[in-house]
Amino acid sequence: MDSMPKRTLWWGIALSVGGALLIMFVPPLMYSIFSADGEVGQTLFSFLELVLGVVRQLVLPLGTALIAASLVMFYIRGRSQPPESDRPKRWVLPDPLERSTDG
């Protein structure tokens, strides 16, 4: 059994949840930690705000794309395997005692 779709699904879920938590909790935490009084604090704050903006734009869409990709992989894997009814049947010869004797 291939674990690639499962791994992709779990990475997508982790990135989506992590991105949502990042969006909700990091900005208020940054505002409470860094004071904008000094020049050093303002520079660090603006740099972290820039990095957070880039991560915010990438993580959540990447997580949802990975979830969608895993669903496509599950679907393709299911379509590529033939159903049980389409499998070729194995020929089995009857026992010699079960054969009818015509003659």
For 67-87, what is the mean pLDDT? 79
- CA pair distance 59, 14, nearest whole angstrom: 10
pLDDT band at 52 (very low <50, low <70, confident <90, very high): confident
**Environment class of residue 8 by beta-carbon count within 10 Å: exposed (0-12), middle (13-18) or buried (19+)?**
buried
Q: Is the pTM of this model over 0.75?
A: no
Show the DSSP H helices in the chain as ranges: 4-33, 39-80
| 24-28, 42-46, 88-92, 98-102, range with the lowest pLDDT | 98-102
Q: pLDDT class for 37, splitting at 50, 70, 90? A: low
